[in-house]
Amino acid sequence: MKKSLPDYKEARRRTKEEVKVITDAYIMDNELSKLGIGKTYCTVTYGCQANVRDSETISAIMEDMSFTRVEDMKEADVVIFNTCAIRENAHNKVFGNLGIIKNLKEKKDILTILCGCMAQEESVIKMLTEKYKWVDVILGTHNIHNLPKLLSEAIDKNEQVVEVFSKEGDIVENLPVRRDNKYKAFVNIMYGCDKFCTYCIVPYTRGKQRSRRIEDILKEVNELLANGYKEVTLIGQNVNAYGKDIENYPTMANLLEEVAKTGIERIRFVTSHPWDFTDEMIDVIAKYDNIMPYFHLPVQSGSNRILKLMGRRYTKESYLELFHKIKERIPNASVTTDIIVGFPSETEEEFMETMEVVEECKYDGAFTFIYSPRENTPAASMKDDITLEEKEDRLQRLNALVNKYYRENNEKLLGKIVPVLIEGPSDKNSNLYSGYTDTMKLVNVECDKEDIGTVINVEITEAKTWSLDGKKVK
Ligand code: SAH
Ligand code: SF4
Ligand code: F3S
C-alpha cells in the first residue's frame, strides 16, 4: 500500500511558508500500546547524530507499543533499519543487512521497517517497492511519529506500507525518547539544511532548515540536567545558522549562552559550517567554561576552485582566517574536520592544496571520504574523470597525513592533566574505564567504578594514534 512516495522536485523546493511546530502529532492509543506485548525489536542505526537521536525516539515509540529491546537483529521480531544516504557505501551496508533478514525470514516471522534518509530517495523506494516487497513498512525522516499507525496497518493488511513526505517539513515536538547513554545526550536544535552543497543529499532527505524553538531546547536541557546528565551535544547540520530561518530570533551565540547558563557541566555542538561562524559565538565559547573547546569545522577541500564547485561559500583563505581566530581566542581548542577527495575534476595540484591546509591546521582528527555521486545532486552530473585508483591513492596519502597530526596532538598531552567524563568500562580492557576529554579525545583511564558518570582529572600517561591512556589524579 503506497500512501505517499518521495518526490525530489518537492524536496528541492524552499518557500517562505512558516514552519509549524506541531505538539500533538504522536498518538498512542490503548490498542497500539499493546501491539508489541511478548515481542522484541532491534533498531539498527547508520549515519550521523541526527539518525542516532531519531533512533532513540524510534526505540521509545517501539517501547510505548510494549515491544522489548534486543541488541542482536537476528533475535528480533521487528527489525528497524534507520538508514543513511550520504555515500553509496552507506546504501550497500543496508542492502547487505536486508539480505540477511530475507534469509532469516524463511525460518521465522520477522517484520522489517526501513526509515531514515534512504527512504527519501526516489530510486531506493522504486527498488524497495518492486524488488523488496517483503519489507513491511517504509517511512521517511518527516513522519517518525506515524510509525505505530503504519506498523499496525502493515500487520492488519499484510502488505507493504510506504509513507514518505517530501514537503519541506515541520517541527514535531513531544515525541518520546529512550536515550542510549545516561550521562551525555544529543539535543536537536535544528532540522534540515538549506545550504545545498552540490555533492550533498541531505537538503533533499531532511528538508529545509527549521530551528527548534529556544524554549523547547532549554526545556529539554533542563530535564536532562534534572535527570543527572552531565553533557549535552547540540546537533544540527549547520548549528551556526541556528535561528536564521526565523525573523528576529536568537542566534547560535545567544542559544549557546542560554544553554551555558543552565549550568549543565558540558556543552558541545556539531556541525559547524565555516560560513556561519560568528565572532559572537567565539566570544561566548571563550566566556563559559562549560562550553567545551572542541570544534568540528569541515573544510572539504583546500582548493578555491573546488570549494566553489562544491558550493561551500568560503575560500581557503577565509577558512584559515576563521581557524586561526578560534585558536587564538581559545588556545586549547581542538579542531577536527571533514574532507572529500576526488571531487569531479579535482587535479593533483588541487588535492595538494588540501594537503597543505591539513599541514597548516594540524587537525586533531578528520573524517575523510572519496567523493560519491548522489542521485539528483548537481555534482552528480559534473564530469568525473578521476580514476578510482587515483582517488584511493589520494585518500591514502591524506589519511597518512591526518594520522600523523592525530598522533602528534595526542602526544602533546603526555604528562598533562585533563578533565574526562567517565562513561563506563573500557571496550579494550575491562580493568579500565573510558571517556572523553573536554577536547573530545578518547581516554582509557585507571580509576574507580564510582567515577562513572562524573568528570575527573586524569593525567595522560600514554599517547596512541586513536586514543590516550591515563590515570586519575586528585
Ligand atoms: N552538515 C555538515 C556535513 C554533513 S555530511 C557540513 O556541512 O559540514 C558529513 C560529511 O560527509 C560532509 O562533511 C562531507 O565531507 C561528507 N559527504 C557529504 N556528501 C558526500 C558525498 N556525496 N561524497 C563523499 N562525501 C560526502
Ligand atoms: Fe550537506 Fe552542505 Fe548541508 Fe552540510 S551544509 S548537510 S554538506 S548541504
Ligand atoms: Fe546520513 Fe541522513 Fe545523516 S544522509 S549523514 S543520516 S542526515
> What confidence tens digit (pLDDT) does each residue in 381-415 have?
999 989 999 999 999 999 999 999 999 999 999 99
> For a substitution probing ligand 2, which of 51, 195, 297, 340 has the most ligand atoms within 8 Å of its CB?
195
Q: Which residues contact 294 (CB under 8 A, 6 or more apart)?
A: 268, 333, 334, 335, 336, 438, 439, 440
Mind spelling out the 3-state secondary structure of 9-61? HHHHCCCCCCCCEECCCCCCCCCHHHCCCCCEEEEEECCCHHHHHHHHHHHHH
Q: Residue 38 Cα, ligand 1 centroid: separation in angstroms?
A: 41
User: 3-class DSSP state for residue 244?
Assistant: coil
- CATH topology assigned to domain 181-292: Transcription Regulator spoIIAA (3.30.750)
pLDDT reported for residue 216 = 97
> For a substitution probing ligand 3, which of 53, 202, 376 has the most ligand atoms within 8 Å of its CB?
202
52 in Cβ contact with 270 (< 8 Å): no
**For ligand 3, is residue 143 a contact (CB within 6 Å)?**
no
Where in the chain are all domains bearing CATH 3.30.750.210? 181-292
User: 3-class DSSP state for residue 76?
Assistant: coil
The model's pTM: 0.96
pLDDT reported for residue 39 = 98
320/402 Cα distance (integer angstroms)? 17
**Minimum-distance ligand 2 atom for the alpha carbon of 200:** 1
Residues with CB under 6 A from ligand 2: 193, 195-197, 200, 202-203, 237-238, 273
User: 3-class DSSP state for residue 294?
Assistant: strand
pLDDT reported for residue 10 = 84
pLDDT in tens, 98-135: 999 999 999 999 999 999 999 999 999 999 999 999 99
- Per residue in 373-405, is it b (16+ CB within 10 Å) or e — as a string? ebeebebeebebebeeeebebbbeebeebbeeb
Where in the chain are all domains bearing CATH 3.40.50.12160? 2-163
Give the closest ligand to the alpha carbon of residue 203: 2
Closest residue by Cα to atom 1, ligand 2, is 200
Q: Residue 398 Cα, ligand 2 centroid: separation in angstroms?
A: 22
pLDDT reported for residue 247 = 92
Q: Residue 387 Cα, ligand 2 centroid: separation in angstroms?
A: 25
CA angle 397, 295, 371 (to 5 degrees): 40
> For a substitution probing ligand 1, which of 48, 340, 391 has the most ligand atoms within 8 Å of its CB?
340
Where in the chain are all domains bearing CATH 3.30.750.200? 304-411
Q: Which residues contact 57 (CB under 8 A, 6 or more apart)?
A: 144, 175, 176, 177, 178
152/161 Cα distance (integer angstroms)? 10
Which among 288, 362, 336, 332 is positioned nearest to 438, based on CA atoms?
332
Where in the chain are all domains bearing CATH 2.40.50.140? 417-472
Which CATH number describes the domain made up of 2-163?
Answer: 3.40.50.12160
Closest residue by Cα to atom 7, ligand 3, is 202
Cβ count within 10 A of residue 15: 8
- Per residue in 306-345, is it b (16+ CB within 10 Å) or e — as a string? bbebbebebebeebbebbeebbeebeebbbbbebbbbbbe
> For a substitution probing ligand 3, which of 48, 93, 190 has the most ligand atoms within 8 Å of its CB?
48
**For ligand 1, is residue 372 a contact (CB within 6 Å)?**
yes
Which CATH number describes the domain made up of 417-472?
Answer: 2.40.50.140
In this prediction, the residues of the chain whose per-residue pLDDT falls under 50 are none
346 in Cβ contact with 391 (< 8 Å): no
Give the closest ligand to the alpha carbon of residue 300: 1
pLDDT reported for residue 1 = 76
Closest residue by Cα to atom 1, ligand 3, is 84
Question: φ and ψ at 354, to 5 degrees?
Answer: -65, -45
64/58 Cα distance (integer angstroms)? 10
- Joined grid coordinates for residue 438: 573536554
**Minimum-distance ligand 3 atom for the alpha carbon of 82:** 6
**For ligand 1, is residue 271 a contact (CB within 6 Å)?**
yes
pLDDT in tens, 16-44: 788 899 999 999 999 999 999 999 999 99
Give the closest ligand to the alpha carbon of residue 342: 1
- CATH topology assigned to domain 304-411: Transcription Regulator spoIIAA (3.30.750)
441/411 Cα distance (integer angstroms)? 12
**Minimum-distance ligand 3 atom for the alpha carbon of 86:** 4
